[in-house]
Amino acid sequence: LSVIILIHLVSTVSTEVSYKEESCEETMASKEVSGARGGLFGAGGRFKGGTDPIMEKFNESISFDKRMWSQDIRGSIAYAKSIALVGIITEEEANILVDGLEKVGEEWGNGSFEIKAGDEDIHTANERRLTEIVGPVGGKLHTGRSRNDQVATDTRLWTVEAERDILKDIATFLVVGAEFAAENIDTLTSGYTHLQPAQPIRFSHWLMSHLAPVIRDAERLMEMIPRANQCPLGSGALAGNAFGVDREFLAKELGFNGVTSNSLDATCDRDFVVEFLMWSALFHTHISQLAEDLIIINLLRGVTIDDAYATGSSLMPQKKNPDALELLRGKAGIALGRAVGFTATLKGLPRAYNKDLQEDKKPLFEAVDTAKDCLAIVTGVIATLKLNPDNLMKALCPEMLATDLADYLVRRGVPFRETHHISGACVRLAEEQNISIDTLTLEQLQNIDARFEEDVMEVWDYEASVERKSSIGGTARAAVQKQIDDCIAFANTL
């Protein structure tokens, strides 16, 4: 009986193995017949077999680079015109290609474009659809062009447009922030160093201190655009274009400032992506600092965050959490990670194009989206913010006028280093007597230094202290108003 069972098992296993081998052969045969390698690499070309489905998923970029459909259409239209100018295609063929490309663009625009199997990236998808519309003449479009210079062109166009859009959003934020500062210019509060009360300032002066770095961010972004706005189209795969296309014509057609100087570099240069990612890291650092300050001021009840930018607790009914600010604060670390991560990807690449460069899109797209989202949120937070002037005033304490006390004697010719010690002695005396420094009598002050006169009591005035800081950039009313005016004037140039 055991021998019979053994023979039956061997027979069953042999049958299963035979079936699996036949099934595998049929699968491979079907792949070879179908040549499932997308629109560029069909059967009968360089490759004999199909692509592993996992490799297709691993290799594709259409799922994210479809965002550049408009730029890809524009680049192809310009290129069709350029190869017509050098006689590679006729003017009639060029018109057919341009009309077809415009129809492809209309489909993307109205949402009817259908991504099909084999559309590896936005370039192959558009070319496949173009050929379906115009026929074999669509196969002439790619003459002399490579996806290497094509994707570099698309990415530069997309990045420059995104940077210009961000500048507009920054302008809105700056105007909203500056106008809020102007509305609250008379509100005083405490300035801090080391998170310790330092000197009295205007709340608007504090707010303008956070707009100042955003102005620098805008200036940096404007400086980056001309470097990004250089045309790589016509560089081919790496060695240049074999048909003598006019690259300056291409640059003008696409709105570039000029052309890239070296075809090898043009196809693999992603400096403009790194620059934006690093810009993004610094920009979000500045927004994070503003958010952190507002979180603290909100904790001290100096401001009230609008309900639109706060959330509650799933357990504690009384909670109103400044989640918008916390998320703004949290974005900075992720932004820095993108910059460092992609720069690390670039550092070991040989010349020229390598598929590693496909990894530029996701961090770039995410960085742009995050910057625009954060600008919308922080603008909304400031626009709907409510000040609690009484609570902001409570942050003031007479001890922060100790520097004004020292300055009082400086104006009477006493060296500051000496007045610093004298004022410090006054602070110590008040602490030892457990009283506020502004309640020290004239007699007590004169016991420390006889040069104090009766008018020293005028020192204990926060408004007077603030108004004495009247130099450019200071916290006096006129100085802050100038900062506000300059900020709005700058925003209007963006």
Which residue among the candidates 18, 30, 313, 436 is catalytic per the annotation?
A: 313
CA distances from 229 to 155, 162, 241 (A): 10, 12, 20
Question: In 10 A of CB 341, how many CB atoms?
Answer: 12
- 194 annotated active-site: yes
What are the tokens at 454?
A: 């009766």
112 CB-near residues (< 8 Å, 6+ apart): none
Which residue among the candidates 194, 261, 314, 471 is catalytic per the annotation?
A: 194
CA count, 13 A, side-chain hemisphere, 87: 1
- 288 annotated active-site: no
Longest dimension (CA), the chain: 121
Distance CA 309, CA 373 (A): 13
Question: In 10 A of CB 380, how many CB atoms?
Answer: 16
Residues β-bridged to residue 189:
201
CA distances from 424 to 379, 401, 462 (A): 42, 11, 19
Residues β-bridged to residue 360:
none
Active site residues: 194, 313
